[in-house]
């Protein structure tokens, strides 16, 4: 079996790369050890968003009486909810399999080993030795298990178990206040579970813009969800009352009782898996990641790496883009390069969070003079009409050039709204460009326009004290 390209891994990085390779006329094969669509489609992005939507819907039904809609006390059929979620996953994974087939891409089920730059051995259902001119490694990542909290699927859950519950626990302790822990923790909170969060750092969402993190902390407090910062989960034991977890906070150990522990402290690249054999094949690493260049080529000619195994950020959309770059490079496009102006990050918490571009601190470090404007959703007619006034939009520009540097949001549907900010940064837009773009009314994206106006103290629907120094040289007002 001889191919132009063998892609190892059929997640959002791998299958996108394989399809593009086929579109470019390359004979392509995909090796997948578990399931088409990878973690994202099966036990990650898609099923989590389905359950997040279910949780939010359940919450909205319970709170609908504020709008004069009486629904009584809603009930939850957990089995039916999970079946619905699995139906969505099935449609999407089936769609990926169909796309691979329609593009005449051969698929092999099994564990792949890179023997050398031109040979991949498949062990498992479709045991084969594949000869190839190029290899693309897209093997993804795995949840990290911390000492004393090995995943057992019963007492200690990873995100995988949290996405397929047989019942809703009464009490849950979430280890890790990052985006996965908060997304899933809030699903269960909305479904009626008592949640407690333990975070080792000094704030939740430690990787996000500081004010977004602070706002989420306030939101959790409003929801009466206990959050312990600077805290380290040490161990747990089973008792007749549930699981008792020892947590070290400020040098002292406190005990908390729960029915299940959700451990979400991060993920680790699968690239150093011994079975995969990259190190033995001579591939160089940068920590846990394959060391790659702008075309996603590794140190060994003919071997490429994309997605979670090729470095931060470990995001599906970043991996998909890398897949397109690698495919173009393999097909001979010398101009193909991974060089995005920005990569948006979205978190489907309640409220949602989205961020793209630089924070004010990063902008200063890069020599800019950051100036920012903020618009609250409490002043948005659309946000009020959907009963979701929590949060705001923040726009960061450069005081000297008015160049748009960053956009950070927390509130309703901001995971959708952030695309405008990403496109604007990619196109090199100014803050004034955003302010002068007519946005439909009444819509949530108006918050982006108003925040851009607020940069120059010219927002209409909030009061700002005049500040001539903040106005652009040729303000279009």
Question: DSSP class of residue 53?
Answer: H
**H-helix or E-strand spanning residue 195:** strand 194-199
Residue pair 3/27 in contact by the 8 Å Cβ criterion: yes
Please state, in angstroms and as integers, the Cα–Cα distance from residue 405 to each residue in 12, 39, 212, 372, 402, following that order. 28, 32, 16, 10, 9
Strand partners, 116: 119
Residue pair 307/275 in contact by the 8 Å Cβ criterion: no
CA distance 138 to 277: 14
**H-helix or E-strand spanning residue 275:** none
**H-helix or E-strand spanning residue 13:** none
Which residue in this structure is represented by tokens 């033995």? Answer: 280
Q: Is 6 helix (H, G, I), strand (E, B) or coil?
A: strand
DSSP 340-386: -S---EEE-SSSEEEEEE--HHHHHHTT--EEEEEEEGGG-HHHHHT
CA distance 118 to 339: 28
Question: DSSP class of residue 20?
Answer: H
Tokens of 311: 């470095």
Q: How many CB atoms lie within 10 A of CB 320?
A: 21
Helices of type H across 130-178? 159-162
Tokens of 35: 């399931």
Catalytic residue among 317, 321, 441, 456: 441
- How far is residue 477 CA from its own chain's centroid? 38
Contacts of residue 426, defined as CB under 8 A and 6 or more positions apart, other chains included, come to: 340, 341, 342
Question: DSSP class of residue 440?
Answer: P
Residue pair 205/225 in contact by the 8 Å Cβ criterion: no
Q: Rounded to 5 degrees, what are φ and ψ at 254?
A: -110, 155
CA distance 365 to 151: 40
Tell me whether residue 441 is one of the annotated catalytic residues: yes
No. of helices (H) and no. of strands (E), the chain? 13, 24
Instruction: Name the residues annotated as catalytic.
Output: 441
């Amino acid at each position: 079996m001889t191919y132009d390209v063998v892609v190892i891994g059929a997640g959002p990085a791998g299958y996108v790369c394989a399809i593009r390779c086929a579109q470019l006329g390359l004979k392509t094969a995909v090796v997948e050890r578990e399931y088409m669509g990878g973690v994202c489609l099966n036990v990650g992005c898609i099923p989590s968003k389905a359950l997040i939507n279910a949780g939010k819907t359940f919450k909205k039904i319970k709170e609908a009486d504020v709008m004069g809609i009486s629904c009584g006390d809603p009930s939850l059929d957990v089995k039916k909810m999970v079946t619905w979620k699995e139906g969505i996953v099935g449609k999407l994974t089936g769609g990926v399999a169909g796309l691979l087939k329609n593009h005449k891409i051969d698929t092999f089920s099994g564990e792949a080993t890179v023997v050398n730059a031109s040979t991949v051995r498949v062990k498992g259902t479709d045991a084969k030795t594949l000869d190839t001119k190029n290899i693309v490694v897209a093997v993804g990542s795995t949840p990290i298990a911390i000492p004393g909290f090995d995943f057992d699927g019963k007492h200690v859950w990873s995100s995988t178990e949290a996405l397929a519950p047989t019942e809703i626990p009464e009490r849950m302790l979430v280890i890790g206040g990052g985006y996965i822990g908060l997304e899933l923790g809030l699903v269960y909170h909305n479904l009626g579970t008592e949640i407690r969060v333990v975070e080792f750092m000094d704030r939740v969402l430690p990787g996000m813009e500081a004010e977004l993190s602070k706002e989420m902390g306030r939101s959790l407090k409003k929801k009466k969800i206990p959050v312990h910062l600077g805290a380290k989960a040490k161990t747990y034991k089973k008792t007749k009352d549930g699981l008792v977890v020892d947590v070290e906070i400020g040098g002292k150990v406190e005990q908390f009782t729960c029915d299940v522990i959700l451990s979400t402290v991060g993920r680790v690249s699968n690239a150093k898996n011994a079975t995969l054999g990259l190190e033995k094949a001579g591939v160089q690493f940068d920590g846990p990641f394959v060391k790659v260049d702008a075309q996603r080529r590794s140190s060994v000619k003919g071997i490429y790496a994309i997605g979670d195994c090729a470095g931060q950020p470990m995001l599906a959309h970043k991996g998909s883009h890398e897949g397109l770059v690698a495919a173009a490079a393999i097909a001979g496009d010398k101009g193909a390069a991974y060089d995005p102006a920005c990569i948006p990050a979205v978190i489907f918490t309640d409220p949602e969070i989205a961020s793209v571009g630089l924070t004010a601190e990063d902008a200063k470090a890069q020599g800019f003079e950051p100036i920012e404007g903020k618009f609250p959703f409490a002043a948005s007619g659309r946000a009020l009409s959907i009963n979701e006034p929590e949060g705001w939009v923040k726009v960061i520009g450069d005081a000297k050039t008015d160049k748009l540097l960053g956009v950070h949001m927390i509130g309703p549907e901001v995971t959708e709204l952030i695309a405008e900010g990403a496109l604007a940064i990619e196109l090199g837009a100014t803050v004034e460009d955003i302010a002068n773009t007519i946005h439909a009314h009444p819509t949530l994206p108006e918050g982006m326009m108003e925040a851009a106006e607020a940069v120059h103290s010219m927002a209409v629907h909030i009061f700002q004290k005049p500040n001539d120094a903040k106005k652009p040289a040729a303000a279009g007002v």
